[in-house]
Amino acid sequence: MSSTLSPRTRSQGLLFGVLALVLALCVWLPACSAQTKSGKDSKMESDPNKVLAKVNGKTITEGDLEKAAAAEFQQLERECSNNRHNLVENKLKQMVQDTMVEAEAKAKGVSKDQLIADATKAAPVTDADADKFYDENKAQIPPNVTKEQVMPRIKQYLEQQRQNEARQAFYASLDAKYKADYMLEPVRVPVEAAAYAAPVQGPTTAPVTIVEFSDFQCPFCSRLKPTLDQVKQKYGDKVRIVFRQYPLPIHNNAPKAAEAALCANDQGKFWEMHDAMFADQGGLAPDSLKAKATKIGLKADQFAACLDADKHADEIKKDMAAGTAAGVNGTPAMFVNGRFINGAVPIDDITKVIDDELKRGEKSAKS
């Protein structure tokens, strides 16, 4: 995600949970609706010739407005479509789980409620458990909150965490036993390599393609690099990685760094420049970029001429337009066979999607 937002690791999730309990903070997100009050699709009711305003002798029609706000409407429709799919996906998962619980309860001769209660019973949280958690996180707890005040909330949080872990383990065991087969397709966004010779690692025959939109000045993008290196090491020729440029306006040196990467690409050394810039994000001014080019063995005069002439500026604009159209609004952003992953997420979040894609591919090949 963009540098205004910090990616949450699992350990941070625990800490944020405690702080939320201590501070009693709740964040409510607005709902999205693409329908009119009558329940009909508002886009279908539009009349492009309908006059919405008149000013200084000029008329503004509904068609004019829709054209001017096309990107915003596209984003709104995409968000609403994603929300609907998430609802369907969650409800389907719940129905599958209910079916498995019913089968397991029948096999064991107990009620469904009794089965769930027994299977999700967690070990009690002791004072020692709460003390340990407090000691590990007390630096993050406001100084005006005493240990005596926060301990009941810590115990409550740890109890909920253990119950959730027990519940997840229970349903994972049911998944392994009953092997539910989901046919619902995930949301996919049609985004591919750029029209120009975009930098690529991996064969075109790879069953999984990751299209990454990135910014060389973004600290979270540099954190994603070692994660993607692990992905390449784990999956080899099964994964193809496509790099596309998305320099954020808040990063002054990012546009020139993006040009530098493509100038290096002209000489067949994109990934060397890619690694050099992420290793030294404080050195992305033009003179530093030229020094890096020399260091990685590029023809210095050719590189400098390319960079000074803004040779690849238009290609970068096209990358950014493609990213925005696909729903990118921060970096890093990835599309794994079109499935959107936002931010510098842990490797497990990426491999989970890749494994699912490989499984879907194998299933499709057999059918």
CA 308 – CA 304 distance, rounded (Å):
6
101-143 pLDDT, tens per residue?
A: 999 999 999 999 999 999 989 999 999 999 999 999 988 889 8
Q: Residue 137 is encoded by which pair of tokens?
A: 């996180």
The answer to whether residues 217 and 247 touch, using CB atoms and an 8 Å cutoff, is: yes
Residue-wise pLDDT tens for the chain (367 aa)? 444 444 443 444 444 444 444 433 323 333 333 333 334 444 456 799 999 999 999 999 999 999 999 878 877 887 888 788 889 989 999 999 999 999 999 999 999 999 999 998 999 999 999 999 999 998 888 989 999 999 999 999 999 999 999 999 999 999 999 988 888 889 898 887 666 677 999 999 999 999 999 999 999 999 999 999 999 999 999 999 999 999 999 999 999 999 999 999 999 999 999 999 999 999 999 999 999 999 999 999 999 999 999 999 999 999 999 999 898 999 999 999 999 999 999 999 999 999 999 999 887 787 7
Strands 58-61, 200-201: pairing is unpaired
For the full predicted model, state whether its pTM sits above 0.75. no
The answer to whether residues 287 and 149 touch, using CB atoms and an 8 Å cutoff, is: no
Residue located via tokens 């089965």? 115
The answer to whether residues 281 and 216 touch, using CB atoms and an 8 Å cutoff, is: yes
Residue 313 in 3-state DSSP?
helix
Distance of CA 21 to the CA centre of its chain: 26
The answer to whether residues 330 and 342 touch, using CB atoms and an 8 Å cutoff, is: yes
Taking residue 198's Cβ as centre, other Cβ atoms within 10 Å add up to 18
Angle at 228 between CA 87 and CA 303, to 5 degrees: 125
Q: What are the chain's domains?
A: 13-21+83-178 (no CATH), 200-366 (3.40.30.10)
pLDDT of residue 71: 78
What amino acid is encoded at 254 in this protein?
A: A
Residue count of the chain, please give it: 367
The answer to whether residues 339 and 187 touch, using CB atoms and an 8 Å cutoff, is: yes
DSSP 42: T
The DSSP H or E segment spanning 55 is: strand 51-55
The answer to whether residues 358 and 207 touch, using CB atoms and an 8 Å cutoff, is: yes
Q: Name every residue whose Cβ is closer than 8 Å to that of residue 314 and which is 6 or more positions away in sequence.
A: none
Q: Kindly state the greatest CA–CA separation across the chain.
A: 79
| CB crowding 94-108: b at 16 or more within 10 Å, else e | eebbeebbeebbeee
Question: Which DSSP string do the residues of 88-131 spell out, in sequence order?
Answer: HHHHHHHHHHHHHHHHHHHHHTS-HHHHHHHHT--PPPPHHHHH
Q: Residue 272 is encoded by which pair of tokens?
A: 């060397």
Residue located via tokens 């009050």? 37
Q: Residue 230 is encoded by which pair of tokens?
A: 């692990």
Residue located via tokens 């619902």? 184
Question: Which DSSP string do the residues of 148-186 spell out, in sequence order?
Answer: HHHHHHHHHHHHHHHHHHHHHHHHHHHHHHH-----PPP
